[in-house]
């Protein structure tokens, strides 16, 4: 089973000056890196790393996403960081979205303190098992669809749905993470035109650089469901140009052995014309009531009353057996646990760029 390095990209128009971005009200000025013991690298991305950390005051474990300000400023990504933070604040209200406990900053870095979800990436499990049986794939697809439907209800499109961004919790439920490519303010009739996403999962309208709407998320759901059932994304090729040609022009190939309902939902979600795609008329409700999902009791699903088809059997809150060794064997940078002296600050532009990043909800007592 082969994949390319599935890195997301986003050519979002950037702000001209770092001074015109405000990340909201500052409510947690006292948190600092020295509050934590940083134990292991558990993920990484363009702007920094995700680390398993233990809060010294109560010995609870968290995933702490640490981002380098200088890299964000160099790439002019301040607005995307603001969008990610805003979505994280809203995600606390849905069972299948990762929760933000609080955030803080130093002169050099931004810190998101998140739920530690240690059942492993869906990508990790797919690599080991190659593909899933329909009931298991349906369960994961339903929980993901519920999360995407919730984001759409807030006029947010996700834009980067892929197995690497879908985690399993300790019981085997889905947790959607990484909101760095989310787009806010997307009313049902609104479109955007940013070339944005991960190559294997790009919708045709994004590739054509046409205006697109929330239908891109249902294409991505179709691509992930296809990968769960058949082992590779639809139209997959190691030659990216050939893969893009397939996404744009080739008919969907459905190998045998799947039910008519599974084939029908894939054809609906992977419809090249976004106006005829499943979800184009009634968004999540259309997906929810497709015959493929008829075995799902959606109320039970939302309240986690359905036993997941796979139990990761984690041994405790710090268990890392399902985290890819590519990450865990990496040395934890010493700098993430230190608060630099003011002299090492990046300058006033950095302070202005990330004004108000720090956040703590009123019902949390971490300090």
Residue 237 phi, psi (nearest 5): -150, 145
- Asked if 323 and 118 touch (Cβ cutoff 8 Å), the reply is yes
Q: Round to whole Å and give the CA distance between 236 and 244.
A: 9
The answer for 347, left when phi > 0, alpha when psi is -120 to 50, beta otherwise, is: left
- Asked if 353 and 73 touch (Cβ cutoff 8 Å), the reply is yes
Residue with the two structure tokens 């810190």:
111
| 74 labeled binding residue | yes
The residue annotated as part of the active site, out of 115, 160, 178, 283, is 160
End-to-end CA distance of the chain: 46
Q: How many CB atoms lie within 10 A of CB 289?
A: 11
Which stretches of the chain are DSSP H helices? 69-74, 78-91, 122-129, 134-153, 204-207, 215-230, 240-249, 260-269, 284-288, 298-302, 325-328, 348-353
Q: Is 160 a catalytic residue?
A: yes
Q: Round to whole Å and give the CA distance between 308 and 297.
A: 13
Q: Round to whole Å and give the CA distance between 358 and 112.
A: 9
Q: Round to whole Å and give the CA distance between 241 and 238.
A: 9
Q: Round to whole Å and give the CA distance between 238 and 109.
A: 36
Residue with the two structure tokens 């969008």:
83
Q: Round to whole Å and give the CA distance between 67 and 109.
A: 6
Which residues line the annotated binding site? 74
* Residues annotated as catalytic (active site), given as ranges: 160
Which residues line the annotated binding site for ATP? 74
């Amino acid at each position: 089973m082969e994949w390319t390095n599935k890195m997301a990209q986003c050519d979002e128009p950037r702000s001209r000056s770092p001074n015109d971005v405000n990340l909201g009200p500052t409510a947690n000025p006292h948190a600092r890196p020295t509050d934590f013991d940083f134990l292991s690298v558990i993920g990484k991305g363009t702007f920094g790393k995700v680390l398993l950390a233990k809060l010294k005051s109560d010995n609870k474990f968290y995933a702490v996403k640490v981002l380098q300000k200088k890299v964000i400023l160099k790439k002019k990504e301040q607005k995307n960081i603001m969008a990610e933070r805003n979505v994280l604040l809203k995600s606390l209200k849905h069972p299948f979205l990762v929760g933000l406990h609080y955030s803080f900053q130093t002169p050099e870095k931004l810190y998101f303190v998140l739920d530690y979800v240690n059942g492993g990436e869906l990508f990790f499990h797919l690599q080991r098992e190659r593909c899933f049986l329909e009931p298991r794939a349906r369960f994961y697809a339903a929980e993901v669809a519920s999360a995407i439907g919730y984001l759409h209800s807030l006029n947010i499109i996700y834009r980067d749905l892929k197995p690497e961004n879908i985690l399993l919790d300790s019981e085997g439920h889905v947790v959607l993470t990484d909101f760095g490519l989310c787009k806010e303010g997307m009313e049902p009739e609104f479109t955007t035109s940013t070339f944005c996403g991960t190559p294997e999962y790009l919708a045709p309208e994004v590739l054509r650089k046409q205006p697109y709407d929330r239908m891109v998320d249902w294409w991505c759901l179709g691509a992930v469901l296809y990968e769960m059932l058949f082992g590779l994304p639809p139209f997959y090729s190691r030659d990216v140009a050939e893969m893009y040609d397939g996404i744009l022009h080739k008919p969907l190939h459905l190998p045998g052995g799947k039910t008519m309902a599974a084939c029908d939902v894939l054809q609906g979600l992977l419809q090249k014309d976004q106006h005829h795609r499943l979800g184009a008329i009634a968004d999540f409700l259309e997906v929810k009531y497709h015959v493929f999902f008829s075995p799902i009791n959606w109320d039970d699903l939302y309240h986690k009353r359905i036993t997941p088809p796979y139990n990761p059997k984690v041994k405790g809150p710090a268990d890392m057996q399902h985290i890819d060794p590519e990450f865990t064997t990496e040395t934890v940078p010493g700098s993430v646990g230190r608060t630099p002296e003011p002299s090492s600050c990046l300058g006033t532009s950095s302070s202005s760029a990330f004004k108000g990043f720090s956040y703590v909800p009123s019902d949390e007592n971490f300090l």
